[in-house]
Structure 1
Amino acid sequence: MRLLLVEDDDRVAAALSAVLTRHGFDVVHARSGEEALQRLLPDGAPPFGVVLLDLGLPDTDGFEVCGRIRRLTSVPVIMVTARADVRSRVHGLNLGADDYVVKPYDTAELLARIHAVSRRTAAVAPDGAADRDEAVREGPRELRLGPLTIETATRRVAVNGETVTLTRKEFDLLALLAQRPGVVFRREQIISEVWRTSWEGTGRTLEVHVASLRSKLKLPALIETVRGVGYRLVAPAG
């Protein structure tokens, strides 16, 4: 797999590139946001499978780069940064990042997350529409829960008729919970079905995605936290 590493610190990039290369990745290093965007333009080379994006870049803020990447391509983006606050995590995921890893990190965890986003990211069809993930394909094509509508065929979500833009994993999480309203999904089950991994570190990512869904849908009581167990979707009133 080709991997684009966006990191302005050459020492960090060299050490990480060596590890990734030993694990079979073809690493391309970009030192700035603009260089990263240029690398992502079609040039006849095989497409990148994953982008590792540092936020502290010398020319452009990494959040802005992520937004521009998402407008350019559907390649999975993992933000790798020292910014550990929840607001930064939510902002990054809202911009379209597929995962968020905080420095310092364990290399084994980073590798697991790279493989996880690679497995779970849907292939993009020629018309730009994403193929459906298995968990979504198995459910009904449309779910109506009070003011909430979920169309699994088009991956569209609306509240009171107004479309709400979600990231891939936000949609998959919502669609999974909506398949059985009122039923508690264990955290481990959600991580397994949506993230296709059992890696314990994904739990924090799950919490961030739940917080982001509550904020975007403006239905804070929609997803209920069952302390010590997991989450369930509470069907809203008409």
Structure 2
Amino acid sequence: MGFSADRPPIHSTAARPLRVLVAEDEAVNRMAALALLRRAGHSVVTVEDGPSAVAAATDPTGDGFDLLLLDLGLPGFDGDEAARRIRRQPRLTGTAPRILMLTATATPDGLARCRACGADGLLTKPLRLDALETALTNSPTNAAPDDGAAFDPNAIAQMRDLLPADRVGALIAKTADTLRQYRTALADAWNGGDPRAAGAMAHKVAGVSGQYGCVALRRAAQALEAALERDGLAGANATAALTRFDEAYDPALAYLDRQTLG
């Protein structure tokens, strides 16, 4: 989804490698993005939080970046705040990098934040090279088609093409462990009456599960986040969304566990 139509396109083929900064707090997503972008021929630096993103993007001793990929929800301060601080730097005037926000769930609130922070566009996770290429040429960016299937085997197949088998297995196992931890944290937030924290965990689940092909869980997490943003913990919508979320969780974990044996 493009925001700016007046920025010149970036021709991001391997023949014209880009200097890319990726700000992503989820280790499994960060490593996947690193592998994808390097495979496409780009030079990549990764950071894990908002302050580090601003420091790297505005470092006067560095070579600078052509492209910043900033996760909307970052520790320290969010990606949209990082984008605002980067845009305010005088030394970047006239040579400002392209900024694309990354988000697992394009809620109305998230879209508004991305538009207001000075970003050039938005990419919905999981990160896909074709969607990135489209965004950089100022064409409309669309998420991958959703055919209603529970799983997308192409997500992990692509990783197996890019990385050694043992590394892929380790990433998948770490992803399953991460999702188990997030499920517990979301339940604690729900039971503690904290819809904001529950919604934040649903957002994290959507990002991680989508990157590794668990699309039914991603859909359920996106729906739960939207219901919590709209209605809080009260009402039938949030309760029904939580039920669908729980129903999708065990099949997703079983799928990932099977992939570690593949």
Q: TM-score range by the shorter chain?
A: 0.3 to 0.5
**Whose strand proportion is higher, 1 or 2?**
1
Under a length normalisation based on structure 2, what TM-score does the superposition of the two structures give?
A: 0.42
**Whose helix proportion is higher, 1 or 2?**
2
Under a length normalisation based on structure 1, what TM-score does the superposition of the two structures give?
A: 0.46
- Report which structure shows greater RCO (CA 8 Å, sep ≥6): 2
